[in-house]
Amino acid sequence: MNKIDLSVDLNGLKLKNPITVASGTFGFGREFIDYIDLNSLGGIMVKGLTLEERKGNPMPRVAETPMGMLNSVGLQNPGVKYFIKEEMPFLKQYDTKIIGNINGNTIEEYCEIADILSKTSIDSLELNISCPNVKEGGVSFGRDPDMVYKVTKAVREHTDKHLIVKLSPNVTDIKEIAMAAEKAGADCISLINTLIGMAIDINKEVTVLARGMGGLSGPAIKPVALRMVYEVFNVVSIPIIGMGGIMNYEDAIEFFLAGAHAISIGTGNLINPRIAIEVLEGIGQHLAEKGYRSIEGIKGKVKVPSK
Ligand SMILES: Cc1cc2nc3c(=O)[nH]c(=O)nc-3n(C[C@H](O)[C@H](O)[C@H](O)COP(=O)(O)O)c2cc1C
């Protein structure tokens, strides 16, 4: 029988399978243990962490759209030190990789959080330079290749941990941003974060979200995410974790074909808490049917007919 190896090596971070759950959609894992065995996940990207606790943005901060959701949660989290003390011991009971999603207002803040997490047994750091829901920092770093280079390089010099840089889709040319991250020493790239969007209540004539705009996620953004993964795959040599609108195993396979080495499920977790397991099973079956023996085999294999 054709034995399939679902493990992936993301340039030093070894996952037992290519399924991760996306930051901000899986909390610190506790809410999901009644639905899935966390041991079956390749990795967990924890909710975005900041130096100090953040209460997040005013309500309403989530809105449904026909093909996804808008959120302006604003990085609500208990702060990195609380996470290390109260949440990491729980997560570390499980045989899955824990990835810390870090967020700062300044380069110094990113470095300080990286320093703090580097002293722990966390498996990887994901640098979120793409959050559209904070006033300063976040996406403003992720839009400019020079800033991406500077913040990535600074954090690289502060940590020996595996380093993922998470890119924003709210840019003109994703390729130059990805190349800047690679040049500055990123081990891996994850993309995409949410696309900036808006919804309006026509009776009250006000925006649905209290802050006006928010990040669009879910099925609506999948074509954009796939295109960006494909573009980035063609210009960098470090591995890519693809995400954006993955709702079933077929979506995940599309991401592998476009060039992703692993995938992350976000909004899908909020609709079906068992989705990660279902996607994992489907991927295994699809690879077997197609005669692939590993993710490496299918990665980047999409053909463009007129090329
Ligand atoms: C409610 C919510 C909160 C999020 N919080 C974070 C966060 O803290 N850090 C981060 O890097 N991305 C965050 N994201 C973005 C997701 O990790 C992911 O990149 C994005 O939603 C696209 O994937 P999806 O379409 O599968 O949801 C958040 C997304 C949602 C929907």
- Per-residue confidence in pLDDT tens, the chain, 307 aa: 458 999 999 999 999 999 999 999 999 999 999 999 999 999 999 999 999 999 999 999 999 999 999 999 999 999 999 999 999 999 999 999 999 999 998 899 999 999 999 999 999 999 999 766 555 555 678 899 999 999 999 999 999 999 999 999 999 999 999 999 999 999 999 999 999 999 999 999 999 999 999 999 999 999 999 999 999 999 999 999 999 999 999 999 999 999 999 999 999 999 999 999 999 999 999 999 999 999 999 999 999 999 7
In this prediction, residue 131 carries a pLDDT of 64
Hey, whose CA ends up nearest to atom 9 of ligand 1?
A: 48
In this prediction, residue 272 carries a pLDDT of 98
Residues in the chain, how many? 307
Positions marked catalytic: 131
Which among 69, 68, 87 is positioned nearest to 77, based on CA atoms?
A: 87
Task: Count Cβ neighbours within 10 Å for each residue of 145-170 and write b for 16 or more, e otherwise.
Answer: bebbbebbbbbbebbebbbbbbbbbb
CA dist 39 and 50 (Å) reads: 26
Task: Count Cβ neighbours within 10 Å for each residue of 57-79 and write b for 16 or more, e otherwise.
Answer: beeebebebeebbbbbbbbbbbe
Which residue from 193, 228, 247 has its CB within 8 A of the most atoms of ligand 1, so it is best to mutate? Answer: 193
| Protein fold of 8-298 | TIM Barrel (3.20.20)
The answer, as to whether pTM is greater than 0.75, is: yes
Which residue from 217, 224, 226, 240 has its CB within 8 A of the most atoms of ligand 1, so it is best to mutate? Answer: 217
Going from N- to C-terminal start, the domains of the chain cover 8-298
Which among 209, 201, 247 is positioned nearest to 70, based on CA atoms?
A: 209
Q: List ligand 1's pocket residues with C-beta within 6 A.
A: 22-25, 47-48, 71, 73, 75, 101, 128, 131, 166, 193-194, 217-218, 221, 243-246, 265-268
Residue at 306: amino acid letter: S
